[in-house]
Amino acid sequence: MSLDAMPPAAGAAPAPAGSGSRALLKVEDLQVLFPIYKGLLRRQVGSVRAVDGLSFEVRKGETLGLVGESGCGKSTTGRAILRLTDITGGRVELDGVDVAALEGGELRRMRRRMQMIFQDPHASLNPRMTVASIIAEPLDEHMALGRKARQARVGELMDAVGLREDFASRYPHEFSGGQRQRIGIARALALDPDFIVCDEPIAALDVSIQAQVVNLLEDLQKKLGLTYLFISHDLSMVRHLASRVAVMYLGKIVELATREQLYASPRHPYTQALLSAVPSPDPAREASRERVILTGDVPSPANPPSGCRFRTRCPVAQPRCAAEVPEFRKLEDGRQVACHFAE
């Protein structure tokens, strides 16, 4: 079944993701800058502002979708939260602990509580290791298990993701893309994490397999009480899985709203343009769909526009947009939008 054909209400997040849940992850003014060097002396002449001042929360038990065009900083955000990429500034609190300030043994212990499912299951699995060794690698690094306990745990994890236990002695190249992604999911679950960053985990898979992997992630979330940051450029898939959605553009979040609010009435012009490009399975609705065509190219994150970063492509931009950075403010319905004219 195609994800585009799934009804919006399908796969709704479990009850803990409601507004009354406490925040498991808090991100405050997160910044990730990559220096630009030139010349024989390798002098720094600027910086790529990959992530520039993000602030958001992920509540315990929910799935927060993070969407945007390629190159907007989504994957860098996920890697920075897990400290796989150096953080330039800001705070990342997991259950009240500032992950950005941890080093050495403290960071190592915190890594047990936060894991990542990578985009390309072929590239993220060591081709020289068996499935059992791949899944058990986190156990070997963080836990002192005996051979029988280790083997039993690997069997439990393989069963949880729908893999036969007799696959344990095989190598990644012997599996399909969907099966390899299940191996990656089992590895991410090995240490019983609280928080998982899903970095476009179905982008490299066939459409028929995508729905299976998404349903598996939902089932695991309900059974284990997991909290997801789900990164994707596929808005139809995020609609199926996420309870709230954050839209990124050029290193900043421009709109953060519940799934129902965002898909029913987007307020930021960029969100409106993204959603206008999503085809509808309803022929009547598809025939009446109005496309918002953006002009120009995405500006360089090394030299972003003044004021609002979206103004160079925005169909409703005014002179004020070039002079003032729009505040990421809360509207009456509770959503947050970074636009001078969103009401």
Burial of 256 (0-12, 13-18, 19+ CB in 10 A): buried
Domain membership flag for residue 182:
yes
Taking only Cα atoms into account, the Rg of the chain, rounded to an integer number of angstroms, comes to 21
In this predicted structure, what is the pLDDT of residue 17? 45
In this predicted structure, what is the pLDDT of residue 20? 54
The predicted model gives 13-17 an average pLDDT of 40
Domain membership flag for residue 319:
no
- Residue holding tokens 């240490």? 191
Portion of the chain with pLDDT greater than 90, in percent: 70
Find, among 282, 335, 285, 327, the residue nearest to 308 by Cα: 327
Domain membership flag for residue 317:
no
The predicted model gives 187-215 an average pLDDT of 92
CA 238 to chain centre: 10
> How many domains is the chain built from?
1
Cβ-based neighbours of 35, under 8 Å, separated by 6 or more: 44, 46, 47, 48
Q: CATH no. for residue 211?
A: 3.40.50.300
Task: State the pTM of this model.
Answer: 0.88
Cβ-based neighbours of 139, under 8 Å, separated by 6 or more: 145, 150, 153, 154, 190, 191
In this predicted structure, what is the pLDDT of residue 23? 92
Domain membership flag for residue 288:
no
- Residue holding tokens 């160079």? 312
CA dist 51 and 250 (Å) reads: 8
Domain membership flag for residue 92:
yes
In this predicted structure, what is the pLDDT of residue 63? 96
The predicted model gives 115-120 an average pLDDT of 91
Domain membership flag for residue 272:
no
Domain membership flag for residue 304:
no
Strands (E), the chain: 23-38, 43-59, 63-67, 89-94, 97-98, 114-117, 195-199, 227-232, 244-249, 252-258, 329-330, 336-337
Domain extent, residue 49, equals 23-266
